[in-house]
Copies of this chain bind each other. A is one copy, B any other.
Amino acid sequence: MRPNERALNQPRPIKITRHYTKHAEGSVLVEFGDTKVICTATVEETVPRFLKGQNKGWVTAEYGMLPRSTHSRMQRESAKGKQSGRTMEIQRLIARSLRAVVDLTVLGERSITLDCDVIQADGGTRTAAITGSCVALIDAVNELIKNGTLLKNPIKGLVAAVSVGIVNGESVCDLEYVEDSSAETDMNVVMTDDGRMVEVQGTAEGEPFSHEELLQLLDLAKQGCEQIFQAQRNALAQ
């Protein structure tokens, strides 16, 4: 049995709270069960040097975990003086995922930075971060439209992510920490709401996985993302 008697294809309860903090153009608290991430979107009227003068915008992301968001305390990355490889990998993934749903030419020469800060971790922090950031990004863009800065909407659709994996020989959707730490295979899938994929990252932690297992996991991911898109739509409708 899965923890909390979840079905194999059932994601944890998804909760998306908009306008969570007051300064950011978009600010969302996203919860995948006990995993809680604050996602803020900051708009700046500037682009990185490599894009200057190209009439295109940029979307980037940064990721961090509060030191005691985890079971045992992790060292603070600012005190260590550098970000870990895992942090860099995740923030690059978040940024690529969001750029998949933004028409950067329509955005114009400005940047949107998504800051994803994990305040409580229980597995799936990167998929929660992508899911919440999408809503924060849309809030920030809508603000630009409302105040007349943007005349056209650069958002091409929703993007969401879920982890799937093989745990004790069973394929399951949206792994929480106790599942994640004993998974044989772990896969993160990022999808757009037209059913296509932006990222697929599957890793065999123990035994390699077969083609059939991969297909099963992709199917579970599709089912999970559909529920997550619905949670995003509900939040945006409020």
**A contact set with B: CB distance below 8 Å:** 21-24, 27, 34, 36, 38, 40, 42, 44, 62, 64, 66-71, 73, 76-89, 91-92, 96, 100, 113, 115, 117, 119-121, 187, 191-192, 194-204, 207-211, 214, 218
User: Is there contact, CB below 8 Å, between B79 and A81?
Assistant: no
Give the Cβ gap from A91 to chain B, nearest Cβ, in Å: 8
- Which one of B100, B200, B203, B218 lies within 8 Å of A96 (CB-CB)? B203
- Which one of B23, B36, B71, B199 lies within 8 Å of A120 (CB-CB)? B23
Q: Which residues of B lie under 8 Å from residue A76 when comparing CB positions?
A: 62, 64, 78, 115
- Which one of B79, B115, B204 lies within 8 Å of A83 (CB-CB)? B79
Q: Which residues of B lie under 8 Å from residue A113 when comparing CB positions?
A: 67, 73
User: Is there contact, CB below 8 Å, between B92 and A89?
Assistant: yes
User: Is there contact, CB below 8 Å, between A40 and B68?
Assistant: yes
Q: Which residues of B lie under 8 Å from residue A192 when comparing CB positions?
A: 208
Bound-state Cα–Cα, A77 to B64, Å = 11
User: Is there contact, CB below 8 Å, between B34 and A62?
Assistant: no
Chain B residue nearest to A187 (CB atoms) is B200
Give the Cβ gap from A222 to chain B, nearest Cβ, in Å: 8
User: Is there contact, CB below 8 Å, between B211 and A194?
Assistant: no
Give the Cβ gap from A137 to chain B, nearest Cβ, in Å: 13
The DSSP consensus for interface residues of chain A is mixed
* Known interface pairs A76-B115, A85-B88; A21-B196 also in contact (CB < 8 Å): no
Bound-state Cα–Cα, A119 to B218, Å = 36
Chain B residue nearest to A205 (CB atoms) is B96
Bound-state Cα–Cα, A62 to B68, Å = 11
Give the Cβ gap from A154 to chain B, nearest Cβ, in Å: 15
Give the Cβ gap from A126 to chain B, nearest Cβ, in Å: 13
Bound-state Cα–Cα, A88 to B87, Å = 10
- Which one of B70, B88, B195 lies within 8 Å of A23 (CB-CB)? B70
- Which one of B81, B86, B208 lies within 8 Å of A82 (CB-CB)? B81
* Known interface pairs A68-B115, A119-B21; A197-B201 also in contact (CB < 8 Å): no
Give the Cβ gap from A78 to chain B, nearest Cβ, in Å: 4
- Which one of B115, B119, B196 lies within 8 Å of A210 (CB-CB)? B196
